[in-house]
């Protein structure tokens, strides 16, 4: 399960950021997660609740926004998203494509008190 180390870094980064800004408590953390990353939001929240115990982010709610998979067509240069799991250029029908996002995760913003 790769959610655990990722959640650890989310807790660490969030806590550091919040403390830097003089916050006493983090109530909500918004994450952007690529659809290809395979991260399950429910698992993230479970690990988060465990890891954040005793820190200022304890009890915070994770709000996950999924980033759709995007690719560039190597044939015509068109940039598009994957629709219905079909990895094919909608313009020229080429399957010669390069995935440009969908694998990342990042902290978008957070609510603090």
Binding-site size for Zn ion (CB under 5 A) equals 8
**CB nearer to Zn ion: pick between 16 and 96:** 96
Q: Tell me if 92 contacts Zn ion by CB under 5 A.
A: yes
- Supply the DSSP symbol for 95: -
Q: Tell me if 43 contacts Zn ion by CB under 5 A.
A: no
Q: How far is the CB of 29 from Zn ion (least distance, A)?
A: 38
What residues from 46 to 75 belong to the interface with Zn ion (CB under 5 A)?
73, 75
User: In angstroms, rounded to a whole number, what is the distance separating the alpha carbons of residues 76 and 62?
Assistant: 39
Selection from 87, 78, 82 nearest residue 70 by Cα: 82
């Amino acid at each position: 399960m790769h959610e655990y180390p990722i959640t650890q870094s989310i807790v660490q980064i969030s806590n550091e950021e919040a403390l830097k800004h003089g916050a006493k408590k983090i109530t909500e953390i918004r994450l952007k997660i690529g659809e290809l990353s395979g991260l399950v939001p429910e698992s993230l929240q479970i690990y988060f609740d465990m890891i954040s115990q005793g820190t200022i982010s304890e009890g915070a709610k994770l709000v996950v926004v999924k980033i759709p998979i995007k690719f560039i067509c190597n044939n015509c240069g068109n940039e598009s998203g994957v629709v219905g799991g079909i990895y094919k250029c909608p313009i020229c029908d080429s399957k010669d494509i390069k995935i440009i996002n969908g694998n990342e995760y990042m902290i978008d913003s957070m609510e603090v008190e």
